[in-house]
Chain A
Amino acid sequence: MCNPFDSIDSIGSIDCIPFPIYLGFNWWTSRGIDSTSSIDYNTDSKAIIMSRNETQNMRSRSNHTIRPQVRGKDSLDRFGDDLCRLLLSYLPLEDRFRYECVSKQWQRLIYETQTELSFKYRSLDSFGVNINDKESVNEILDILDYLSPINVLS
């Protein structure tokens, strides 16, 4: 048994430990389960702890290099890249071009989830770039790095 928190037996003291997130999980599941099976759980949750720590490290690194100041709870800057990327994935393409200059985090993430381009009536999406206007279309394709193969539908 390699769970370092086995000795802690009051839930209150667990609450004070901020990281790793899954500590509570570890402790909680290992109760009432016999020792042979809880070894499996420990290795399992360790893997989770490692990946959690990794993303957390990445986030805190980007926080330190790009945004040294601590942001308030009502600021979107508190969201890490994963959540921010997901949020931005609901934007239409036109808004993505417009909001590229909101912040470096947005610039980094905003085109990542744009994997499709759609054409309507021979013009691009909702803003009227003609499909024959090679220069404009190329410019757009230059910006959109994450496109999967493009299907042109009539």
Chain B
Amino acid sequence: MNGEYSLDTTEGMAASGDPPTNNAVDDYDAEEALERQREEENKIKIKLKSFEGGVYECGLTAAKMSVMVANMLDALQETDLTKIATREPIPLQNDAVTNKALEKIVEWVDHHWDDPPIDPDFDDEKERRNEELSHWDKQFIDIADQGELFDIIAAANFMDIKGLVEVGAKHICNKIKGKSCTEVREMLKIHNDFTPEEEAAIHKENEWIYAKD
């Protein structure tokens, strides 16, 4: 009886003591392995085809930052990933995906492919929202031609690349900061579809905020 009991406790101790450390090692290993896999996969190049017909090459991990492209690749159920490289280019059927826009998008995902993927379970949305753009992103998105800038944002939105849409949105918000309504309209070429009376009414309603200036 006694012997059996002591055997039980040692077993119990082993059971309660070991798994957590094992799990931690497993987690670490899994993370490492995933990172290595992402790195390997990014060496595989796939081709993306713009709306205008231009074909651009991009690492697989980088391309998967586009949820749309990732879904398309998943739908293929291709187990041998290297075969994806030999496939025909993926057509991106939206008129915002011009050659220039796609070139810039490929540049962005190639730079950001090793960012930690956004974890939907972990709510860091608010933090990311308030984060300043990195120096690289700032230079990347500072595009003189507004049509091209809007193309990139619309194309990134179409391809479902959250990070890039965010960069674009933050850039535009930074640009209009502190401007008046008229200046914003001029800058972003927005058509004023209010009648003068309607506009005056809104002005009056929000008068207290203008009074602060």
Interface positions of A (Cβ within 8 A of B): 11, 14-15, 18, 21-25, 28-29, 32-33, 37, 41, 44, 66-67, 69, 71-79, 82-83, 86-87, 89-91, 94-95, 97-104, 106-107, 127-128, 136, 139, 143
Contacts and interface: CB of A to CB of B under 8 A. Distances in A.
B206 A73 contact: no
B185 interface: yes
Contacts of B166: 90
Given A29-B72, A37-B77, A103-B193, A76 B129 contact: no
Interface residues of B, number: 52
B189 to A, nearest CB: 4
B95 A18 contact: yes
15 contacts: A11-B88, A14-B91, A18-B93, A25-B75, A28-B72, A67-B193, A75-B189, A76-B150, A78-B154, A79-B153, A87-B153, A90-B169, A98-B181, A102-B184, A104-B194
A110 to B, nearest CB: 11
Interface stretch (B8-16, B20-28, B134-142, B170-178): B170-178
A100 B189 contact: no
Of B94, B189, B199, chain A has the most CB atoms within 10 Å of the CB of B189
B163 to A, nearest CB: 13
A33 B76 contact: yes
A-side interface mostly: helix
Given A75-B188, A77-B189, A98 B206 contact: yes
B194 A103 contact: yes
A140 to B, nearest CB: 9
B169 A86 contact: yes
B165 interface: yes
A66 B209 CA distance: 28
B-side interface mostly: helix
Pairs of residues from A and B, 8 with the lowest C-beta to C-beta distance, nearest first: A73-B147, A75-B189, A24-B91, A74-B147, A76-B188, A74-B146, A101-B202, A90-B173
A76 B190 contact: yes
B113 interface: no
Given A29-B76, A86-B169, A103-B191, A97 B181 contact: no
Nearest to A94: B209
Contacts of B77: 33, 37
Contact of B170 (A76, A78, A90): A90
A16 to B, nearest CB: 11
B72 A102 contact: no
A90 B129 contact: yes
Interface string B57-100: 00000000000000010011100000000001011111100000
A89 B169 contact: yes
B75 A127 contact: no
A23 B72 CA distance: 12
A82 B184 CA distance: 20
Contacts of B75: 25, 29, 41, 44
Nearest to A103: B190
A102 B199 CA distance: 9
